[in-house]
Chains A and B, each alone.
Chain A
Amino acid sequence: MSVDVKKITLDGLWTNNPALVQLLGLCPLLAVTGSVVNAIGLGLASTIVLLGSNLTISAFRKFVPGSVRLPIFVMIIASFVTAIELLMQAFTYELYQILGIFIPLIVTNCAIMGRADAFASKNPVSASLLDGLMMGLGFSAVLIVLGAMREALGSGTLFADMQLLFGAGAQSWKIVLVDDYSGFLFAVLPPGAFVGMGLLIALKNIIDGKLEERRKRLTPAEPKDIQRARVTG
């Protein structure tokens, strides 16, 4: 069975994006995207968990009885989350403290559970790994865009505090967009996350609409060509 790389990739990143289309995992998505570094941190953690859980669940899919599959998936996901949590505690302690409860809460992220049940438990290991990677990347991309929007609006900077994740060298990555920015607290608070998320979804729908329009514009041209071909031929 060949793996439909293009479809899985496109699904994860765009057409079935966990955050923008499935609207899964919104709680951590809205809660921690106050800055880019938080978003990258949570995005990385979720992606790694997603990769691990998809890999394991797909490998064991023949041995898992259908009636108790969800508890088993939760156990597998929880063990990966625990590992990630310990890793973050060891290497990025400050970020671990900032993200706080939202690291353990990755267990309950429906995006991960959903992929486990909808994809990994029915597909071979290679496809599941790819699906996990792409879903994770799609989720992280939305996290990072939202984090960048809220950080830029809320505190007038971009990529601040990157040293929490990438070591001391990353301290200079910070870009100050506006000097003496007095801060726009609304963007940093949860309501700002909701409004920002709504705008992102609207933007995706606009782009989808435009793509659909273009596709429609291009398709009616084909029958005409065929007709003309018949006339001349």
Chain B
Amino acid sequence: MALIRSSSPHLHKMNQTGRVMRLVLLATLPGLAAMTFFFGWGTLINIIWASLLAVGFEAAIMKLRNRPIRFYLSDYSAVVTAVLLALALPPFAAWWVTLVGVFVAIVIAKHLYGGLGQNPFNPAMVAYALLLVSFPVEMTRWTEPFVLVSADSGWSVLSFVDTLKVIFGGIDTSVIDSYTGATPLDALRHRGGLTTEEAWRQVPVLADGIGAWHAVSAAYVMGGVFLLYKKIFTWHAPVSVLGSLAVLSTLFFIVEPDYFADPFFHLTVGGTMLGAFFIATDPVSSATSNKGKIWFGLGIGTLIFVIRTWGGYPDAVAFAVLLMNLSAPFIDQYTQPRTYGHAKAKRGLKGDA
């Protein structure tokens, strides 16, 4: 017999923040596994280090703001931010790079704006953009996938202990020179007069190493599809990000294949998949309505292509997301869905006929 009476709805606890965040964490596991498999232990170490820092900063700032620490820590949002940031960082990023990044993400981008649900920008992307602008050397020293590292056979990544030493400054960075190189996006950008076709054949990271990036992207797609199946987010944002990027890059590739990269390349290297499924779907900083999400995604996809092709930085996901975060309130203003039984929402400034 039910002793507590309550009115409908009777559905409980389906979409608590904590549950959503735990599912997102679960969905990053394939990506993490792929990163670890192809690029070594660095990402795993970074994730653990970043999560520790994030929980520490979150607890400290909750204490400063006189909020219940345990309650807010148990929604896992700080950990999700840390994990997403760590996945985006180069695997050999030094400890202080992660430290600065997590501090900026949690303290400045999240809590100075009012905490979870109030931040206009995606904290992980704010931190990533800041790090990319501030430490260009550290942030572009990406790890070579293990297939490119010359070794006798097998899984030739830097050992776990050595990776720890690299990240925490135990050994000189010149030791890891044979383990680092440019990302495919970087390689294609600085190809020095080669056509795209020649670059694909001659640059090793494009000719032999590209599979690693494809695999990591595929792993992110797996995680994204899992979240879609669990109804954590709708299809609108990711599909429009990927769709607009694909359409734009196809158009340019058809016109001049010697100069522009093919659409498959754009979709499967860099942060495209991570951005489309894990960043553009952030419920706080993206547009609200389904129609708004489509416009939001379209903007991100277009900006990714534009910045990658003509911009000054190798990858563009962070900048594209931040720019669209900035325009999300504007999109919301113009994409208010019609409430059933009411006239169409009035758009534009007051007084428009």
Contacts and interface: CB of A to CB of B under 8 A. Distances in A.
Contacts of B108: 195
Contacts of B134: 183-187
Interface string B28-45: 000000000000000000
Contacts, number: 19
19 contacts: A182-B135, A182-B137, A182-B138, A183-B134, A184-B100, A184-B134, A184-B135, A185-B133, A185-B134, A185-B135, A185-B136, A186-B130, A186-B133, A186-B134, A187-B134, A189-B133, A191-B130, A195-B108, A198-B112
A186 B136 CA distance: 11
Interface of B: 100, 108, 112, 130, 133-138
Given A184-B100, A191-B130, A195-B108, 9 more contacts: A182-B135, A182-B137, A182-B138, A184-B134, A185-B134, A185-B136, A186-B130, A186-B133, A189-B133
Secondary structure of the A side of the interface?
Answer: helix
Interface in A46-96: none
Nearest to A187: B134
Interface residues of A, number: 10
A86 B306 CA distance: 45
B247 to A, nearest CB: 33
A189 B100 CA distance: 16
Interface of A: 182-187, 189, 191, 195, 198
Secondary structure of the B side of the interface?
Answer: helix
A114 B298 CA distance: 46
A185 B136 CA distance: 9
A111 to B, nearest CB: 26
A89 to B, nearest CB: 33
A186 B100 CA distance: 11
Contacts of A195: 108
A226 B138 CA distance: 68
Contacts of A198: 112
A183 B134 CA distance: 8
A185 B100 CA distance: 12
Contacts of A183: 134
A184 B108 CA distance: 16
Contacts of A182: 135, 137-138
A161 to B, nearest CB: 22
Contacts of B135: 182, 184-185
A-B CB proximity, top 4 nearest: A186-B134, A185-B134, A186-B130, A184-B134
A196 B177 CA distance: 36
Nearest to A198: B112
Nearest to A188: B134
Contacts of B130: 186, 191
Nearest to B100: A184
A198 B109 CA distance: 13
A25 B47 CA distance: 43
A119 B134 CA distance: 43
A16 to B, nearest CB: 26
A162 B130 CA distance: 29
Contacts of A189: 133
Nearest to B104: A186
A182 B130 CA distance: 15
Contacts of B133: 185-186, 189
Most A Cβ at <10 Å: residue of B108, B130, B137? B130
Contacts of A185: 133-136
Contacts of B100: 184
A19 B100 CA distance: 28
Most B Cβ at <10 Å: residue of A184, A185, A186, A198? A186
A195 B104 CA distance: 11
A183 B131 CA distance: 12
Contacts of B137: 182
